[in-house]
Amino acid sequence: MFIITNALRNITRNKGRSALMIIIVAIVTAAATIGLAIVQAAQRARTDALANTTISAQITLDRSALMSGTRSDGADGKPDMDAMREAVAGKTMTLADYEQYAKESYGVASSYYIETASVAATDGGIDAVDSNGGVITEHADSDQTSDAEDDASSDGGASAPQDLPQTPQEGKGMGAGGARMTVGDFSLVGFSSDEAIANAPNGVFTMDDGQVFGYGTADDGDVIISDTLAQANDVKVGDSITVANVADEDTTYTFKVVGVYSNSSDASTPMGGPMASTASDPANAIYTSVSTLDKLGLTPDKTVDVTDAHGNARQTQAATLSYTYVFDGKSNYDEFVRDVKAAGLGDEYTVTSQDVQQYESSLLPIENLAKFARTLLIVVLTVGAVVLVVLTIFNIRERKYEIGVLTAIGVKKVKVAAQYAVELLAVTLIGLAVGVGAGAAASVPVSNALLSSQVEAQHTQIAQQREQFGRDMQAAPGQRPGAGATSDATSGDAPDNGQQQVGEHKDAGSASQAIAKLNATVNWATLGWMLLVGLGLTLLAALVAAVFVMRYEPLQILADRS
């Protein structure tokens, strides 16, 4: 009891020194509280957002692994492309292969797939729309050819079908695993469900007239076309349209138009540039069900005989397949990655998620802020510990005579050291309470201000990159050049025009706005950590005080004072 009473008396007796130590501890604690709150908030934001986000993923071929396995023995070390093509062809997954992993036991919430075939214009059918808004009248069975076709074919007849190598794109309806499809005038895109059509290859679209087709056999032959294609060919809901097989112009397909849609994107140039096929143009996309493609035999497991621009006969897939798995949270996605590998998925395949990749890239500002907060936390605690130890040393040296008197009258050195520890603990707890309160009040506005500066710095860097090239960076397919997070498609504010909007367009611009504010509030975990920090600083200072107390000899101290 003597130790506690004497310690409290010393605190009130030396008000200036006690106030100085309280202020220093409060400043250190406030800064540490803000830094710790930011670090914890960044961890929560990362974990909670991915845990509560619907994630889509695909299984694709690992092209780098295939290239490394097909490198030639020559001095150049280049991969054997023929061997690689054979390897890709042998590793292409079928619909049954994909479906064996679409199980709830693998963490899959749902799945869908999109099949894409290519069809050609024919006499008596509809005409494709070119990038300038006009129509192309040279059909597959026409004797007329364009200048580009004359260069590719010397017989003056119809141009030979070409092969387009496909690159896997998650949720974009393109061929997974490097499949190749024949290019025509239109892309015939088949969807397995409403979830599939909500992730259409060309992004969000709005139904202007009619309605989306069904997916059963009773709805085979029903299609929806773009408003641009409908206007160019004067087609209305209820009309029939005819197209031809790209490999056999005598084989035609007739569809019933049950709806007309308009793409939300303003892009009209075919994906791949001005030299790409008109089938790449979003306006020339004809949407239908996979049941319709199955009935026509335009499926990924079927092949067609084609002749390329050089007159070489070859076989190519009648359609490409894109299969997508959907998960409720990243934990289920991680479970899927582990389980499919354990179930026998080969090393030449990889599971990728564009959602996870985009979210990871969107976390760059908050990760930079978290790194700054960790550095601030380390620096503040280090400086605080040093200052507190130095003040304790000066305090002990100033009170040397007091220590000599106490030990001379019989008070043990351990009790004297304990008295200083109690003083330090009382002062530290007061400073801790003041600092935590100030830090809790300032953590949210300070963290959001710092995050805003990080986001602004990222935008500035992007703008500098654009200025370096003297123009905006090249936009993604179907996105206007320079369109970013503030565009209508990515801001989350859908146009309110009373029309049915279908599809959920996902791109890197929307992901970059995933975290605009940081909820860096002080919770019980933060309070617990700060209490441990306060006790740690007190223990460190008390140990230093104990060392000095133990070194002092009371008789020598009194003799020196005399």
What is the rounded average pLDDT of the residues 347-362?
82
Identify which of 66, 345, 382, 120 has the alpha carbon closest to the alpha carbon of residue 242: 120
| Residue 83 binned pLDDT confidence (cut-offs 50, 70, 90) | low
The predicted pLDDT at position 486 comes to 35
Quote the CA–CA distance of 440 and 527 in Å, as a whole number: 10
Are the CB atoms for 215 and 252 separated by under 8 Å? Answer: no
Residue 111 has φ and ψ, to the nearest 5°, of -150, 155
Strand runs labelled E in 439-524? 500-502
Are the CB atoms for 40 and 338 separated by under 8 Å? Answer: no
Cα dist from 544 to 3, 121, 249, 417, 538, whole Å: 18, 89, 93, 10, 10
**Does the structure show a pLDDT above 70 at 4?**
yes
Percent of the chain scoring above 90 in pLDDT:
19
The predicted pLDDT at position 136 comes to 61
| Residue 203 binned pLDDT confidence (cut-offs 50, 70, 90) | confident
**Does the structure show a pLDDT above 90 at 237?**
yes
The predicted pLDDT at position 463 comes to 67
What is the rounded average pLDDT of the residues 375-384?
87
Tell me the whole-structure pTM to 2 decimals: 0.61
**Does the structure show a pLDDT above 80 at 277?**
no
| Residue 446 binned pLDDT confidence (cut-offs 50, 70, 90) | confident
The predicted pLDDT at position 254 comes to 94
The predicted pLDDT at position 448 comes to 72
Which tokens go with 244? 């031809």
The predicted pLDDT at position 519 comes to 60
The predicted pLDDT at position 516 comes to 54
**Does the structure show a pLDDT above 80 at 362?**
no
| Residues whose CB is less than 8 angstroms from the CB of residue 477 and which lie 6 or more positions away in sequence, other chains included | 267, 271
The predicted pLDDT at position 164 comes to 35
What is the rounded average pLDDT of the residues 474-493?
37
Are the CB atoms for 106 and 88 separated by under 8 Å? Answer: no
Are the CB atoms for 538 and 424 separated by under 8 Å? Answer: yes
The predicted pLDDT at position 476 comes to 37
Question: Rg for the chain (alpha carbons), in Å?
Answer: 35
Q: Which amino acid is at 466?
A: R
| Residue 110 binned pLDDT confidence (cut-offs 50, 70, 90) | very high
**Does the structure show a pLDDT above 80 at 453?**
no
- Tens of pLDDT, residue by residue over 385-415, are 898 888 888 888 887 787 778 788 887 888 8
What is the rounded average pLDDT of the residues 318-328?
91
Average pLDDT value for the chain:
74
- Return the DSSP state at 315: E
Residue 536 has φ and ψ, to the nearest 5°, of -65, -45
What is the rounded average pLDDT of the residues 542-550?
82
**Does the structure show a pLDDT above 90 at 146?**
no
**Does the structure show a pLDDT above 60 at 225?**
yes
The predicted pLDDT at position 159 comes to 32
Q: Is the dihedral of CA 554, 556, 561, 562 positive or negative?
A: positive
Lowest-pLDDT range of 121-125, 393-397, 470-474 = 470-474
The predicted pLDDT at position 536 comes to 86
Identify which of 70, 55, 56 has the alpha carbon closest to the alpha carbon of residue 348: 70
Percent of the chain scoring above 70 in pLDDT:
66
Are the CB atoms for 279 and 188 separated by under 8 Å? Answer: no
The predicted pLDDT at position 157 comes to 33
